[in-house]
Structure 1
Amino acid sequence: MSKDNDIGTGTMLLSFLAGAAVGIGAALLLAPKTGEEMRGKIKDLADDAVDKIKEYANEAQDKIRASYEDGKELVLEKKGIITSAIEAGKEAMEREKEKQKAEL
Structure 2
Amino acid sequence: MDEERGFSAKSVFLSFLLGGIVGAGLALILAPQSGRETRTKIKETAEDVKEKATSYIKEAKEKIASTLDKAKETLEEKKSAITKAVEAGKEVYEKELSKDKEQES
Q: TM-score normalized by structure 1?
A: 0.72
Deviation, 1:31, is 2.4
- Pair 1:39-2:39 in alignment: yes
Counterpart position of 1:84: 84
Q: Which whole-Å deviations, capped at 9, do the CAs of 1:41-70 have from their partners, x for residues lacking one?
A: 001100110000000000000000000000
2:32 match: secondary structure: coil
Moved more, 31-40 or 79-88: 31-40
Q: How many residues get paired?
A: 79
Work out the CA distance in 2 between the residues paired with 1:41 and 1:87.
68
Higher relative contact order (CA 8 A, sep 6+): 1
Work out the CA distance in 2 between the residues paired with 1:101 and 1:31.
97
The one-letter amino acid paired with 1:99 is K
Runs of 4+ with deviation above 3 angstroms:
none
Counterpart position of 2:66: 66
Deviation, 1:85, is 0.0
Could you say if the C-alpha distance between residues 102 and 93 of structure 1 is closer, same or farther in structure 2, counting changes exceeding 3 Å? Answer: same
Q: Which whole-Å deviations, capped at 9, do the CAs of 1:3-60 have from their partners, x for residues lacking one?
A: xxxxxxxxxxxxxxxxxxxxx9x964x1221111101100110011000000000000
Structure with a larger share of its residues in helix = 1
Percentage of pairs with the same residue: 44
Counterpart position of 1:102: 102
Alignment of 1:8-27 (within 5 A): none
In structure 1, stretches of 5+ residues that fail to align are: 1-23
Report the structure number with the largest CA radius of gyration: 2
Work out the CA distance in 1 between the residues paired with 2:28 and 2:70.
45
Query: CA RMSD, aligned part only?
Result: 1.7
In structure 2, stretches of 5+ residues that fail to align are: 1-24
